[in-house]
Each structure stands twice: as C-alpha cells, then as structure tokens.
Amino acid sequence: MRLLLALFLLATPAAADAPIFVIDQTQLPFDLGPGAPANAPARAANSPNAAANSSASSANSGSSFANSPRNPANEKRLIFTAEGNVLGYYAPNNSGTLNLFDVNGKRVAYRPRGSKSLFSNDGRWCGTVASNQGGGFAFGIIQGCAGLF
C-alpha cells in the first residue's frame, strides 16, 4: 500500500488526475487483491451484470454526456502513464461505480461501490484503486488488463 501511495504522490501532475501503472498481483497486500471478499470477482456486487456495474446502463455508458470525452469535467480526470501519456479518463456515477474509459469514450473497466478492485467489462479482476484525499486516484493494473486501454 505504501508503494501505491508513493507512486501516486510522485506521479500526479494535477489534483484529480490519476496515474496508472502495471502491478504484480502476487505482491499486493491481501486487502487489495481479488482474494479479499470485497474484491472477489465472484461477489455479486462486483459482477458486470449487477445493475450498478452493467455496461448496458446509461450511467456507465460512454455515450451519456456525464461519461463522454466531451464533458469538460472529465478533462480533469485523466488517466496517464509515468511517461505522461494520456490513456483515458475516469468518471464516477451516482450508484458509486467508478468507470474507466479510453480516450475515445469506450468503457474498459470499472470499480464497484465498496470494492478496492478494478474489473474488466467481462468481470475479470484487473487491479486495484488507491484514493487520494484530494479527490484523485491511482490505478494499479495487471499486465493482462493493460492492453484494454
């Protein structure tokens, strides 16, 4: 956890922007990995079919203005690499789901309410999320999900 926080503090160029970096799942503390009950892919609340997480829901769709790359609020929620390349942006919804979109507005992952984990649209565990008191996030993703962006 300290490593995630250190990387986040070093890499954040703006208060709400979020760095993304590749992690080794085996090196995570238990509470951040998929073995923790709140982060388990099999947990019903983490399922891509749960109403709050569904990609079919307008609250999670890149075509809704709130989640669109045209929304000025999303310009302050950029997801970037250590090299400074912008890969996309994140957008929260009213149900507590945090959606991650690529630069074209396609949802590539989500964090369900109550979880510290990221999941792909097909429900695979993809990584973890660290929150910043200033409102931003840091996203640690496994290699198998890095290509989603």
pLDDT digits 0-9 by tens, 106-122: 999 999 998 999 999 99
Query: Residue ranges of the domains in the chain?
Result: 2-146
pTM: 0.87
pLDDT given at position 66: 94
CA distance 94 to 37: 23
> In angstroms, what CA-CA distances link 97 with 50, 51, 66, 83?
11, 10, 13, 28
